[in-house]
Amino acid sequence: MTWSAEHGGEDRTLVVVEDVVTTGGQILASTQALRELGATVTTAVCVIERQPGAGAELAKAGIEVRPLFKDVDLEPATD
């Protein structure tokens, strides 16, 4: 990740965007790095949240996860 104060990182509110969240580890790492540069990060958006517990772990770090889909939304339909 490349981000610095010259890009407006300080005193900015940012949203982390991720494709698939399983444990939330990458969101935590990205958020920590951005916060160290002075950004405020409280929200992460992802396409798919694979594990229901990932959001709870991220909430402990002050990050709200907003998935477009959860794994149960993508399960095959049964007749």
Q: What pTM did the predictor assign?
A: 0.79
- Locate the domains of the chain by residue range: 13-72
Give residue-wise pLDDT tens across range 14-58: 999 999 999 999 999 999 999 998 999 999 999 999 887 778 889
Nearest one of 72, 69, 23 to 46, comparing CA atoms: 69
Q: Is 40 left (phi over 0), alpha (psi -120 to 50) or beta?
A: beta
